[in-house]
Amino acid sequence: MYATLADLPRDQTDQYSHAQKKRFRAVFNAVHKHTDGAESRSFAAAHAAAKKHGDRRREKDHEDRLHRMTVRIGT
């Protein structure tokens, strides 16, 4: 289990944003606790959650850009 973001293994999380690392740590710790320390399951769930969080963030950014473009164009 990881107490802080600094405790996360860099080789596992260096590609993630700060928010994704927070999600990774939370999910890893929860799954690790509920599976009696099954690390492979914990890492798999944490990576999936972090990636999904990043995908949602990109979708939101894209929607925001489209909205700004629409407002500028006046449609």
Q: Give per-residue pLDDT as tens, 5-55.
A: 999 999 999 999 999 999 999 999 999 999 999 999 999 999 999 999 887
Classify residue 57: in a domain, yes or no: yes
Classify residue 40: in a domain, yes or no: yes
Classify residue 1: in a domain, yes or no: no
pLDDT value of position 3: 97
CA distance 47 to 72: 38
Classify residue 30: in a domain, yes or no: yes
CA distance 20 to 6: 13
Domain encompassing residue 41 = 17-73
pLDDT value of position 29: 97
CB crowding 35-73: b at 16 or more within 10 Å, else e: eeeeeeebbebbbebbeebbeeeeeeeeeeeeeeeeeee
Q: Which of 28, 17, 26, 1 is CA-nearest to residue 51? A: 17
pLDDT band at residue 65 using 50, 70 and 90 as cut-offs:
low
Classify residue 12: in a domain, yes or no: no
